[in-house]
Amino acid sequence: MKDPKMKEIWLVSLPVIEEDSKNGFIYFSVQERACLVIDEGKNFIVNRNFDYLGLKVTSKSRSNRREIKDSQKKGLRYKSYIRNETPIKIEREQFIHKICKLDTDEFLLHMNDLVNFFNLDNLQKIKNKELVTI
C-alpha cells in the first residue's frame, strides 16, 4: 500500500469509546470511516512524532461543514462533508485504502475552513500568555 498523502481521502480504522447510560459501562470498539489527510507526519501541528493528521468525513450536513464536490463520483457512498472542527491523529497502521484525492483548490477551501474555525486572535494571546479568563 502506498503512503497516504495530503489531499487524499482514505478509509481508516478509528477507535470509538461509548458509554452505556443504563449501566455506566464503557465500551471500546473500532469503526471504519473516511478521513481527509491534512498532514503526512510533517508536523503541520507541532508534535514529536510523525503520525498523520486527518479530518473526518461525514454524511451529516451542518452549517460549519463544507460539502465535498461530487463526493459520490469520487467514490464516497453518500453526499459527504468535511468535519473541520477537530483534526485527529491517525497512525500509519490505521489506513485501510485510498478512496480519492481532492484537487488543490478544493483542499485549500477545506483547510481555510479549519483555520477559520479557530479564533486566531485568542490563540496568539494564549501564546503570548496574555489571555485572562474570568
pLDDT by residue (tens digit) across 30-55?
A: 999 999 999 987 766 655 667 899 99
The answer to the question of residue 33 being in a domain is yes
Q: Of 125 and 39, which is predicted with more confidence?
A: 39
Per DSSP, 90 falls in state: E
d(CA 94, CA 31) in angstroms, rounded, equals 11
pLDDT score at 15 = 92
Q: Quote the domain boundaries for residue 104.
A: 8-127
The answer to the question of residue 25 being in a domain is yes
The answer to the question of residue 83 being in a domain is yes
The answer to the question of residue 1 being in a domain is no
The answer to the question of residue 101 being in a domain is yes
Mean pLDDT of 7-28: 91
The answer to the question of residue 102 being in a domain is yes
pLDDT score at 134 = 47
Element (H, E) at 104: helix 104-117
User: Number of folded domains in the chain?
Assistant: 1
d(CA 82, CA 50) in angstroms, rounded, equals 23
- Domain containing 38 — which CATH number? 2.30.30.110
The answer to the question of residue 120 being in a domain is yes
pLDDT score at 126 = 77
Residue appearing with cell numbers 477545506? 110
The answer to the question of residue 133 being in a domain is no
pLDDT interval class at 62 (50, 70, 90)? confident
Q: How many CB atoms lie under 10 A from the CB of residue 109?
A: 13
Q: Of 46 and 107, which is predicted with more confidence?
A: 107
d(CA 36, CA 60) in angstroms, rounded, equals 16
pLDDT score at 46 = 55
Q: Of 123 and 72, which is predicted with more confidence?
A: 72
Mean pLDDT of 78-93: 91
Output Rg (C-alpha) for the chain, integer angstroms: 17
First to last CA, the chain: 51
Share of the chain above pLDDT 70, in %: 92
Mean pLDDT of 89-102: 95
For 88, residues 6+ apart whose C-beta sits below 8 A from its C-beta are: 14, 35, 53, 54, 55, 56
d(CA 65, CA 110) in angstroms, rounded, equals 9
Full-model pTM: 0.82
Mean pLDDT of the chain: 87
Quote the cell numbers at residue 90. 491517525
